Amino acid sequence: MSNSLSSLLTIIESVDSFPYIENPYYWKFRSHDGALLGYITPEIASRFIDLPHSKYFEVDKLKKEVTIAGALNDFEERNKVFAEIASDWRKSDDLLNKGWRDELYTVYYPRTKPYMLLERAFSCLLGVVTYGVHINGYIPAEKTKDKVLKMWIPRRSPTKATYPGKLDNTIAGGLGYPYGLWENVVKECYEEGGLDADFVTKNITATGAVTYICQPYGPEGHAQPEIEYTYDLVFESEIDNIPHPVDGEAENFTLMTVEEVKQRMINGEFKPNCALVICDFLIRHGIITAENEPNYLEVLSRLHRRFPFATRN
Amino acid sequence: MSNSLSSLLTIIESVDSFPYIENPYYWKFRSHDGALLGYITPEIASRFIDLPHSKYFEVDKLKKEVTIAGALNDFEERNKVFAEIASDWRKSDDLLNKGWRDELYTVYYPRTKPYMLLERAFSCLLGVVTYGVHINGYIPAEKTKDKVLKMWIPRRSPTKATYPGKLDNTIAGGLGYPYGLWENVVKECYEEGGLDADFVTKNITATGAVTYICQPYGPEGHAQPEIEYTYDLVFESEIDNIPHPVDGEAENFTLMTVEEVKQRMINGEFKPNCALVICDFLIRHGIITAENEPNYLEVLSRLHRRFPFATRN
C-alpha cells in the first residue's frame, strides 16, 4: 500500500480539522453553571446580543463567551427557549433552514444527563457535541471465497442533502431524541439496510467510538464536535443477509475487498467521517499497522480526540 | 458489573496520571534542533549544569529547558555521550543503578528515525517515550465449553524487580534495540509463554496501541510517556497451545473468564498498565460498553493520549 502511506493521516486531518492549540477565534458556549457545551463562531455569538430572548444569555465580549443565564435552569424551559430561537433564526439563516430536520438532538451535561434538546440542524450552529452510530458490516477473510476480508459499502442516494453519491459506512445514523444507542442501531439497520433485529443482535459487537472536531464549512466555519459509536457486524457469507436499501438513504450496496475500500478512501470517494470510521476498523483488524502507516500513532490519537466539552458518557 | 462502574476510569487515571493542563513543574528535554523529546524533573535538569559533559547541553533556567547542543548532531556521538552520563550517574542514582538492564531503548526523532540509544533505565530519568508490545491471548466465547470469553493471564514472578507477583498481560515486553515490533512479538511469545512462531503468526492480529503518560514515583516523580502496541492472539481451544513460562518472568498462566479478569482488575491485582491494556481489549470486544461504563468516552480518549513528543510512528 505504498501509495497510501501519507494519505491516511490526510483523511483524518480533513475530518479532525479543528486546531489543537487554543483558538482565540471561536467563542465559548456555556451552560447556566459554567460548563463548556460548544464552540461558536463570532457571528453566531453576536446574534445573542439583540435577541428577543437576550435576558436568558450573558454575552461577555472580553472573555468571548455566551453563557446561558441562571434563570434558564430548567430542562423544559431551555428546550422551549431554544426551540423559539431556532424557529426565529430559521427565517434568515439559510444553512439552518435548508438543514432543518424536525429531529431533536440531546445536549448532555453533566455526564449521562440530558441538559437540553435542540433541533438537529441548530446543534451545528451552536457547536455542541452530537452523536451517532456507525456500523462496519464485513465478511471475515476466512469466510469469503477468495480469503480476503470484504465490507458491505453503500453509496449514498444522489438526492441526499449532504454528500450525495458518496460512499458510506454499511449503516450509520445520528442519535436523535429519544433513542438509546441500541434502539438506534436496530432502527437504522432495518431502515438503511433491511437487516432484521435478530440477525443484528446475533452478529454485532460494540467496538468503541471515534471522536473528532470537524469544520465542514472551512477553517472559520461552525465547529462540530462529533462522537460516533462504532460497531462491527459480521456477515457469515457473501450470499446471506445481503443488505438492501429500505428508506432510500442508500442507493445500493456493494461488496468490496478491503484493498478496494482503502483505494476508494484515498481517492476521496467516501463521506469523510465514514472514511475515518473505516480507518479505525482497519487498525483494529490489523490491516493498517505500525509497519505500513508511518503516522500510525498520530492517526490513533486523533481518532480518539479528548474533548473539553461535557459529553454523554 | 455495577460495582465496577466507577472503577475503570480509576484504573486509567492511576496509569495516565500526568496532568493534561500545562505543568510548570517539569522541565522540557529537547533535541539539538529543538524537538521535544521528554519531560524531566527539576532535580534531573539541575544535574546537567555541572556535568563533565556540560558543553553538550544548554540549560535555560527561565524557560526550564535542557537542550542538546548543536555540537552533538551525530547519532553515534549522542549514543556515546549519553552512555557515559548514564554510567556516571549510576554511581550515585539508586533508581538508575537498581533498574539497570544493559538493554538499549531507542529515542525516535523525527518520526520513524532513531535519534539516539539510551540504557533502558536511563530512559525513565530523561522522561522520553518508550515502547512495548502487549498481547492479549484469549479463547473466543464460542470456542470455550461454557461459552464465555476467557483470557490467559500470567502471574509475574515473585523475584521480578518491578511489580512482583502481580497479574500481567499474556505476553508483554519492552521494545529494545535493535528489535522491530514483529521480531519482538515472536521473541517474547517464546521467551515468556513458550509459544512457537508458527502458532503466533497464524493467530495474531495487530489491533492498535495505547498511549499514556504515567508517574510511577508519584505526582512530582519521573514522567514516563509510554506507547504499548497491542495485539490479539486467538487460541482455538482451552486445551491446545497452553502457554508455559520459559524464561521465568511469569510464574504460571491461568485461564480466567472475562468476568474474573474484570474483578481482579478492579481489585488492583494487575500491574496497572496491563489493566489499562485489558480495558482497551474489553472495549474492542464489546464487553465494556457505553451502556455499562459511564466514563466510556473519557476512558477511550485517555487510552489514546496525544503526545507532544516526537514518536516512532
- Domain ranges within chain B, ordered by starting residue: 2-18+130-302, 27-126
Q: What pLDDT does residue B291 have?
A: 94
Closest in B286, B291, B304 to A304, CB measured: B304
Predicted confidence band of residue A7 (pLDDT cuts 50, 70, 90): low
Q: What pLDDT does residue B4 have?
A: 42
Residue B303 near residue B279 (C-beta atoms within 8 A): yes
Q: What pLDDT does residue A263 have?
A: 94
> Which residue in chain B is spatially nearest to A302 when comparing CA positions?
B306
Question: pLDDT for B192-224, tens place per residue?
Answer: 999 999 999 999 999 999 999 999 999 999 999
Query: Do you find a cis peptide bond into B243, omega within 30 degrees of 0?
Result: no
With CB atoms and an 8 Å threshold, state whether B293 touches A307.
no
A181 contacts on B by Cβ (under 8 Å): 290-291
Q: What pLDDT does residue A6 have?
A: 55
Three-state secondary-structure class, residue B13: helix
Predicted confidence band of residue A91 (pLDDT cuts 50, 70, 90): very high
With CB atoms and an 8 Å threshold, state whether B304 touches A307.
no
The architecture in CATH of the region B27-126 reads: 2-Layer Sandwich (3.30)
Class of domain B2-18+130-302: alpha beta
Q: What pLDDT does residue B111 have?
A: 84
With CB atoms and an 8 Å threshold, state whether B285 touches A312.
no
Low-confidence ranges of chain B (pLDDT < 50): 1-5
A306 contacts on B by Cβ (under 8 Å): 20, 298, 301-302, 305-306
Q: What pLDDT does residue B161 have?
A: 86
Query: ipTM of the predicted structure?
Result: 0.96
Q: Which of residues 126-185 of B touch A (CB under 8 A)?
A: 181-182
Predicted confidence band of residue A298 (pLDDT cuts 50, 70, 90): very high
Q: What pLDDT does residue B112 have?
A: 85
Residues in chain B, overall count: 313
> Which residue in chain B is spatially nearest to A227 when comparing CA positions?
B297
With CB atoms and an 8 Å threshold, state whether A313 touches B306.
no
Task: Give yes or no for residue A264 having a pLDDT over 90.
Answer: yes
> Which residue in chain B is spatially nearest to A6 when comparing CA positions?
B313
> Which residue in chain B is spatially nearest to A284 when comparing CA positions?
B207
Q: What pLDDT does residue A36 have?
A: 97
With CB atoms and an 8 Å threshold, state whether B301 touches A298.
no
Q: What pLDDT does residue A161 have?
A: 86
A209 has a chain B CB within 8 A of its CB: yes
Question: pLDDT for A189-245, tens place per residue?
Answer: 999 999 999 999 999 999 999 999 999 999 999 999 999 999 999 999 999 999 999
Class of domain A31-126: alpha beta
Question: pLDDT for A108-133, tens place per residue?
Answer: 998 889 999 999 999 999 999 999 99
Three-state secondary-structure class, residue B81: helix
Residue B131 near residue B175 (C-beta atoms within 8 A): yes
